[in-house]
Amino acid sequence: MIKKLFSRLVALSIIIIMLLSSIPTFVLADNIISVKGFTKGVSWKPVVPIKKVTFVNFDENSYIDDYAYLAAIPTAVFYDKNTGQIYSHPLLFYQDPYPITNDTQRSLDARKGINYFMEDWISYCNGKLDGMTLINVDKNKVRQWASKNITSIEGNDPYSIASKLALHDWSYSDNAVLAVINKTFNRPDSVFYGKITGTFPAYNIKHQHFEVGYPAIGIGARYHSFDIEEPAKYTVVKMSWKGGIDLDLQLYDDKLGMVDASAGDYKDPPIEVTASYVHDYGNWEVGITAVPKKSYSPVKGKMETLFENYFKNSSKNDIVPLIGKKEKTADVDVLLYPGVDVTLKDPTPFGCRNVNFTLKWNNPNVELGFTVLSPSGAEIASSISKKDIISGEEEKKEGVAYVEIDTLGECQKGVNYSIGIFALNNVSQPVEYELEYSWHQKFSRFEGECLSSAANGAILASVLNAPLLYVSPSSLPDVTEKTLFKLGVKNIYLVNLGDHLSSSVKKKISEFHKIKKEYRKPIEMYSEIMKLTSKKDVIFTTIDPWNKWLVEGLKPEEEIKAAFFVGPAAYIAAHHGSPVLIVDIHPRLSQAIVYPKEFWIRYASDRYTNLVSSGSMVFTGKQVYDFLEDYNFGEIDDEMETIITVAGQFDIGIPWDRVFVGAATSGRFFGSPVDVSYWISRNVFYPAMIFANPALALGGVTLINGSKSIIPKIGGRLRRPFGS
């Protein structure tokens, strides 16, 4: 009996050895240096996954979690120059389950996404982690995820948390990155008021009418040119036809390109309407295209083309013009509204929010409207929509027009926003007008530069394989000073964007450590990271806090005070080997995000009938690329660059991503900051986690159609080798 049992144990041992020989060596910590990382992912070097996870407790009312997340980046993704590889594990925000009371709140429950991600990550790690680091997270809340070792780090200030992380992950280090930050910020809430008065001249509106023949369905377009001359400031173009075919309308400024398009108006009789501020005088064009579409058929399972349906439902007299005996035409009306441009006298500040414009005039018989223009030329918003101009349905308020805008970008000296004022009816005599405007300053540049210092300091530390520590502008915290000595740090890479560090603190640091490099301007920081990695990918984010949104709400809800995307953005930037660009601290970028954001706030719920302005998208893209070229980002001359945006959909509007399509490989992570943290980790580790397929579960998995996937047990009776 004993001999028989021994034989079975030998056989079992052989089976186990054979199975273990197929397990990737990266799960064996002793051999990690010899492991070759995967190269098919997004990272700038091959990645060796580590069987760990770091959780940072998400606190939507504090900066502590953001600074803690950033300090953890060089512990969760670091480059080893000896092996030429990145060693990394997921870095996640932790959040308790959301107390959902109705189905629309599902978008607020990020915990489900954490659970799904961890289920796959644990599966990839063969059921158990080697280590778990918890930053301000109760370990009793994560017991469902097995780990050999759990490290708990508690702290209520960023300096101590960063120091504890450094001492846990480094026994010594010649180098350290020191980022200048403030623990909290007293946000400004100042209100500015301005006023401009002027005289609107006596002008008449102009009208042009022409007919354009139907284009061939699905093939090319028909064009017609017309001229726009001063004093026109705004134009609306309407196309109408007798139906039976789906026509779309495009409006072109020949010096700029397409400035607007209309598709999908299903009124009877059908019309399409385009509009634009008049950027250039001279030749303009309209283009008309015909789109092939399918219509419902009374025969189940069969679809008919709209063209076929047209023949079936039309009389002989209607059909004859369509087939060539007499060309059918669409009626095009061009309305030209005269006006004047007014440049604001006052530059908008950093963190400019809650902007209001009010135009008043002294003649109730005159109808005026206006559009707000960015310094690049993009139309941000108008006091009256193009469809209301055509329909005349908008309620008229005698002698007054309004525009409210959520955000305007920062303008520096010599650059300002402007207003295009135009008449909607004939003005027989000059009219006195008054333009009032106001805005709130809700954020300071100091906050933006501190967060940018911490974020890009984390990326630099990841590349250097060095700890990230924090210093206050006015003092060197004791805990930071002690950590520098304990680690034996010789060289300091000082990230001091905006030059906020006092000379006395800098002197104190340099007494015992060499300040090898100091970065005071963003371009110095960006250039250093790109020089070290030879990568120029573009990662955008914002310090604009997350706006909550509800399922099917299609509009922003409450803005959360300190729920930022900066940490996850820096984490994926570290994997890309590129800096993170906080758009707010760069005036041109802060201006460029305004149109996409304002459009999405206004029209997310009605985006199918309100299309983005092609002209505004062009101006936005041009302004962004001018900045990227000046800062040496991207692959402007060689190939499509990678552009990633990490922000809420109502913080940097969704049209922002669409601006770059065709010129770049553009993508976006959005949701809550917690959502974004696990989606980014799933993206980074996709080449590894793709093999953690739930269908490989020994018990099978129930599919959505009710069937079940079952696979044979590995090793037959391996679970019970000696029988039941």
Residue 543 has pLDDT above 90, yes or no: yes
Which residues lie closer than 8 Å to 459 by C-beta, 6 or more apart? 73, 529, 570, 573, 574, 578, 579, 580
Helices in 358-433 by DSSP H: which ranges?
386-391
- The C-alpha atoms of residue 180 and residue 525 are separated, in whole angstroms, by 13
Instruction: Convert the pLDDT of each residue in 592-632 to its tens digit.
Output: 999 999 999 999 998 888 899 999 999 999 999 999 999 99
Cβ atoms < 10 Å from Cβ of 171: 9
Instruction: Convert the pLDDT of each residue in 423-442 to its tens digit.
Output: 999 999 999 999 999 999 99
pLDDT of 245 reads: 84
Residue 369 has pLDDT above 60, yes or no: yes
pLDDT of 586 reads: 98
Confidence of residue 21 (pLDDT cuts 50, 70, 90): very low
- The C-alpha atoms of residue 163 and residue 479 are separated, in whole angstroms, by 7
In contact, 83 and 34? CB cutoff 8 Å: no
pLDDT of 191 reads: 97
Share of the chain above pLDDT 70, in %: 85
Instruction: Convert the pLDDT of each residue in 376-408 to its tens digit.
Output: 999 999 999 998 998 877 677 789 999 999 999
Which has the minimum average pLDDT: 160-169, 352-361, 631-640?
A: 631-640
Residue 61 has pLDDT above 70, yes or no: yes
- Secondary structure of 634-649 in the HEC alphabet? CCCCCCCEEEEEECCC
Classify 72 as helix, strand or coil: helix
Classify 240 as helix, strand or coil: strand
Residue 704 has pLDDT above 50, yes or no: no
- The C-alpha atoms of residue 722 and residue 724 are separated, in whole angstroms, by 7
Q: Which residues pair with 666 in a beta bridge?
A: 643
pLDDT of 640 reads: 87
pLDDT of 270 reads: 86
Q: pTM of the entire structure?
A: 0.88
- The C-alpha atoms of residue 370 and residue 374 are separated, in whole angstroms, by 13
Residue 545: CA atoms inside 13 Å, Cβ hemisphere, count? 19
Phi, psi for residue 485 in degrees, rounded to 5: -70, -40
Q: In 474-588, at which residue ranges do the beta strands (DSSP E only) sit?
A: 491-495, 514-519, 538-541, 580-582
Which has the minimum average pLDDT: 16-20, 271-275, 685-689?
A: 16-20
Read off the pLDDT of each residue in 569-575 and give the average, rounded to a whole number.
Answer: 99
Which has the higher per-residue pLDDT, 18 or 567?
567
Q: Report which of 168, 279, 289 is spatially closest to residue 234, judged by C-alpha positions.
A: 279
In contact, 289 and 274? CB cutoff 8 Å: no
Confidence of residue 309 (pLDDT cuts 50, 70, 90): very low
Residue 92: CA atoms inside 13 Å, Cβ hemisphere, count? 30
Structure-token match 């090898």, residue found = 516
In contact, 412 and 347? CB cutoff 8 Å: yes
Which has the minimum average pLDDT: 6-20, 98-112, 530-544, 568-582?
A: 6-20
Instruction: Kindly report, as residue ranges, where domains of CATH 2.60.120.380 are found in the chain.
Output: 192-441
Confidence of residue 265 (pLDDT cuts 50, 70, 90): low
Which residues lie closer than 8 Å to 470 by C-beta, 6 or more apart? 67, 71, 158, 159, 162, 178, 179, 180, 181, 454, 477, 480
Q: Which amino acid is at 45?
A: K
What sign does the dihedral 547-551-552-553 (CA atoms) show?
negative
pLDDT of 639 reads: 76
Instruction: Convert the pLDDT of each residue in 201-213 to its tens digit.
Output: 999 999 999 999 9
- The C-alpha atoms of residue 284 and residue 286 are separated, in whole angstroms, by 7
Residue 714 has pLDDT above 50, yes or no: no
Q: Which residues pair with 212 in a beta bridge?
A: 330
Instruction: Convert the pLDDT of each residue in 497-530 to its tens digit.
Output: 999 999 999 999 999 999 999 999 999 999 999 9
Confidence of residue 14 (pLDDT cuts 50, 70, 90): very low
Q: Give 3-state DSSP helix, strand, coil % of the chain, rounded to 5.
A: 30, 30, 40
pLDDT of 325 reads: 54
pLDDT of 694 reads: 54
Strands 491-495 and 175-180: parallel
Cβ atoms < 10 Å from Cβ of 559: 17
pLDDT of 564 reads: 98
- Name the average pLDDT for the chain: 88
Residue 609: CA atoms inside 13 Å, Cβ hemisphere, count? 9
- The C-alpha atoms of residue 441 and residue 192 are separated, in whole angstroms, by 8
Which residues lie closer than 8 Å to 397 by C-beta, 6 or more apart? none
Instruction: Convert the pLDDT of each residue in 184-194 to its tens digit.
Output: 999 998 999 99
Residue 345 has pLDDT above 80, yes or no: yes
Residue 34 has pLDDT above 90, yes or no: no
Confidence of residue 268 (pLDDT cuts 50, 70, 90): low
In contact, 433 and 361? CB cutoff 8 Å: yes
Instruction: Convert the pLDDT of each residue in 135-160 to its tens digit.
Output: 999 999 999 999 999 999 999 999 99
Strands 206-213 and 190-200: unpaired
Run of H or E residues at 533 = helix 522-533
Q: Which CATH architecture has domain 192-441?
A: Sandwich (2.60)
Q: Report which of 450, 344, 446 is spatially closest to residue 405, judged by C-alpha positions.
A: 344
Confidence of residue 706 (pLDDT cuts 50, 70, 90): very low
pLDDT of 4 reads: 45
Residue 37 has pLDDT above 60, yes or no: yes
pLDDT of 482 reads: 98
Burial class (CB in 10 A: 0-12, 13-18, 19+), 687: middle
